[in-house]
């Protein structure tokens, strides 16, 4: 079975291919000749993931999946959420995003937050969604220098270190993306078995 992952991020692609094994061959956007920007104009993670996967399915005719992730902070009514990448502006700068987040939370007692990933899978025109969540706290200052995005200021529940102070394997085992991908992989393996 061939399946497009609507991404050009080689790290995400390699990680997923390893999890899926040989029976499912993953293709990137570049592999199918899609060099245009995939639209992502919705106001929810569910909407964005679906917009991306349906775009590829309808325009290029491949079974496909796409993901979208956001950091939801309770004291900020769920912000930055779907706008996590561009919280401090279109430059998509992680340092500026974290600085804005820490600033918005100054003086607030409630630091609870979660990362949430939604994956939209389209097989023969039918959509199925998978969700992965990790609950945690926004730290008062940055900690660690691994990872990316908001990792230095997010500490998952049950741990005393930020995502950026963990090694990648440990983070992947408990992360939002890891949990959503686990559900996707189980679904695809089962589908392949019954096909
Ligand atoms: P994307 O949907 O995977 O591109 O994620 C959107 C934005 O959420 C990224 O640009 C990051 O700012 C943030 N983000 C997503 N996943 C993570 C993570 O694992 N750690 C830290 N920040 C993340």
- For the stretch 27-71, pLDDT in tens is 999 999 999 999 999 999 999 999 999 999 999 999 999 999 999
Given 22, 31, 67, 68, which residue is catalytic? 68
Residues 119 and 184 sit within 8 Å (Cβ to Cβ):
yes
Six token digits for residue 162: 């930020």
Cβ–ligand 1 distance for 132 under 6 Å, the answer no
Confidence label for 193 from pLDDT (cuts 50, 70 and 90): confident
State which ligand 1 atom lies nearest to the alpha carbon of 87.
12
Q: Is residue 20's pLDDT more than 70?
A: yes
Tell whether omega for the bond before 97 is within 30 degrees of 0, i.e. cis: no
Averaged pLDDT, 67-82: 98
State which ligand 1 atom lies nearest to the alpha carbon of 175.
19
Ligand 1 center to 88 CA (angstroms): 14
Q: Is residue 195's pLDDT more than 70?
A: no
Cβ–ligand 1 distance for 72 under 6 Å, the answer no
Q: Among 85, 131, 154, 169, name the best residue to mutate to test ligand 1's pocket (greatest count of ligand atoms within 8 A of Cβ).
A: 85
Please tell me what DSSP assigns to residue 96.
H
Q: Is residue 128's pLDDT more than 90?
A: yes
pLDDT-wise least confident of 12-21, 126-135, 147-156? 12-21
Residues 45 and 69 sit within 8 Å (Cβ to Cβ):
yes
Q: Does residue 145 have an active-site annotation? A: no
Cβ–ligand 1 distance for 166 under 6 Å, the answer no
Confidence label for 119 from pLDDT (cuts 50, 70 and 90): very high
pLDDT of residue 166: 95
pLDDT-wise least confident of 21-25, 103-107, 148-152, 183-187? 21-25
Ligand 1 center to 70 CA (angstroms): 6
Averaged pLDDT, 11-23: 84
Cβ–ligand 1 distance for 120 under 6 Å, the answer no
CA–CA separation, 68 and 91 (whole Å): 18
Cβ–ligand 1 distance for 151 under 6 Å, the answer yes
Averaged pLDDT, 131-158: 97
pLDDT of residue 23: 83
pTM as predicted: 0.95
The number of helices, as runs of H, and strands, as runs of E, in the chain is 5, 7
pLDDT of residue 2: 92
- CA–CA distance from 73 to each of 58, 79, 153, 182 (Å)? 34, 6, 12, 24
Among 23, 152, 9, 109, which residue's Cα sits nearest to residue 68?
Answer: 9
Cβ–ligand 1 distance for 149 under 6 Å, the answer yes
């Amino acid at each position: 079975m061939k399946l497009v992952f609507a991404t050009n991020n080689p790290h995400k692609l390699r990680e997923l291919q390893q999890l899926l094994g040989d029976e499912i061959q993953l293709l990137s956007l570049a592999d199918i000749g899609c060099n245009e920007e995939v639209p992502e104009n919705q106001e929810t993670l569910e909407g964005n993931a679906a917009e991306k996967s349906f775009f590829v399915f309808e325009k290029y005719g491949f079974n496909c999946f796409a993901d979208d992730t956001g950091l939801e902070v309770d004291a900020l009514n769920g912000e930055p959420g779907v706008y996590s990448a561009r919280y401090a502006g279109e430059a998509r700068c992680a340092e500026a995003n974290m600085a804005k987040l820490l600033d918005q939370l100054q003086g607030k007692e409630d630091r609870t937050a979660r990362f949430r990933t939604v994956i939209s899978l389209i097989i023969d025109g039918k959509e199925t969604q998978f969700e992965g969540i990790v609950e945690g706290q926004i730290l008062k200052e940055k900690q660690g220098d691994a990872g990316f995005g908001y990792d230095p200021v997010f500490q998952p529940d049950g741990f005393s270190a930020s995502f950026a102070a963990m090694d990648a394997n440990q983070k992947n085992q408990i992360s939002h993306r890891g949990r959503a991908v686990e559900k996707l992989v189980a679904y695809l393996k089962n589908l392949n078995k019954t096909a």
